[in-house]
Amino acid sequence: MNKKKIRIGFIGLNPDSHWASRSHIPALKTLTDVFEVKGVANSTYESAQRTAKALQIPYAFENVQELIHSGEIDLVVVTVKVPYHYDLVYTALMAGKHVYCEHPLGNGLEEVERLAALAVSKGVVAVAGTQMAVSSQVIYLQQLVNDGFIGKVLSTTLIGSGGQWRDETVADLYYIYEKNKGATMLTIPLGHTLAGLLKVLGGFDELHSHMFSNYSTVSLKDTGEIKPKTTEDQIMVMGRLKSGAAISIHYRGGISKGTNFLWEINGSEGDLQVTGTIGHGQLAPLTIYGAGREDKALKLLSSHAENPIMENVARMYALIGGDIRNGTRSAPTFDDAVALHRVLQAIEANASRVSSPLDLSA
């Protein structure tokens, strides 16, 4: 086993904002025996230099091509906006580099399938950032289900609030309100959470869905602009899992003054309930309640009040490190991303079918 540190190059890292500086960098500080951050490339050389200086990163690359082809980089980490994922990941794979790309891996199923096939042909470790799938709470929940704590799973219900996707945002986040950019409520909060749900309960056998929006415009609070909104803020899915269990999902934009994350799993011998503060299952501290055959009511089984954002990313990196050193594939792969995107495409395709209003006058 190779004990040499794995050298990381970030594409899209700023010291004072955004996902990577709040999650990846703190996570990597817990794994300094495995990884070292060696370089950064941003949209401009000046931005890369500023980040390198602030975070004490040895190399600020003039452009992404220079970072990807550098002999100083083993693992390319892509944390930019979704529309840029495909080209960057494709280039890194062609260069024979290991890749960790945040979810969604691509803008639509076709891009994801192409990248997955290329990753296999190159024989590299290629990981999609579906952090909820490696969460300690999700792994514990999977164990409870597999061990028969609630007997045979009969049904599951998921309710979540997206946080964004209502009628207000800021200019920097407006792109997630443009459906063609691929960063929607379906692909991000629901997509991430589905990665965890499907890990615990298995895949869909059939589904029916409906998606629509209560708002056609969005107000940018920092600029005062009113912009068109093309993403849905209501997503409903119902169907049956391969296990035979019924499933129903409702995700809604914004934040509720009531329930923002509730996932129940109902079995022949008992029930499980998972709660959180927001519908992003990979971000929220999750609390698990359960009642087995001998229990009269739900009781607390596990509570996570630490920092799930950093901890889930750290778990992902730990798996990646093992995969690179040992030739394994324990972290969520690009093939896993394909399976998830097929579900997301099925939800969207089913929802796009024209439905007729009910006539209840008779």
Give mean pLDDT, residues 135-142: 96
Q: Which residue has the higher pLDDT, 317 or 18?
A: 317
pLDDT of residue 182: 95
Predicted TM-score (pTM) of the model is 0.94
pLDDT of residue 110: 97
Give mean pLDDT, residues 312-336: 97
Whether 203 shows a pLDDT value over 60: the answer reads: yes
pLDDT of residue 16: 81
pLDDT of residue 355: 62
Whether 1 shows a pLDDT value over 50: the answer reads: no
246 confidence band (pLDDT: 50, 70, 90) = very high
Tell me what percent of the residues of the chain surpass a pLDDT of 70. 97
Do 335 and 118 touch, CB atoms closer than 8 A? no
For the stretch 277-302, pLDDT in tens is 999 999 999 999 999 999 999 999 99
| Residue 262 CB-half CA count within 13 A | 10
- Cα-Cα-Cα-Cα dihedral sign, residues 104, 109, 113, 115: negative
CATH (one of 3.30.70.260, 3.30.360.10, 3.40.47.10, 3.40.1800.10) for 133-306: 3.30.360.10
Q: Mention every residue, 6+ apart, whose C-beta is less than 8 A from residue 29.
A: none
Do 298 and 273 touch, CB atoms closer than 8 A? yes
Burial class (CB in 10 A: 0-12, 13-18, 19+), 329: middle
Cα–Cα distances in angstroms (integers) from residue 280 to residues 130, 131, 162, 276, in the given order? 11, 10, 7, 9
Give mean pLDDT, residues 68-75: 98
Nearest to 268 by CA among 291, 248, 289: 291
Whether 359 shows a pLDDT value over 70: the answer reads: no
Whether 198 shows a pLDDT value over 60: the answer reads: yes
306 confidence band (pLDDT: 50, 70, 90) = confident
Q: What is the mean pLDDT of the chain?
A: 95
- Domain 6-131+311-345 of CATH type 3.30.2350.10: no
* CA–CA dist 350, 221 (Å, integer): 34
Instruction: Cite the residue boundaries of each domain of the chain with CATH code 3.40.50.720.
Output: 6-131+311-345
For the stretch 113-126, pLDDT in tens is 999 999 999 999 99
The phi, psi pair for 267, rounded to 5°, reads -125, 175
For the stretch 148-164, pLDDT in tens is 999 999 999 999 999 99
Instruction: Cite the residue boundaries of each domain of the chain with CATH code 3.30.360.10.
Output: 133-306
Q: Residue written as tokens 């979704």?
A: 82
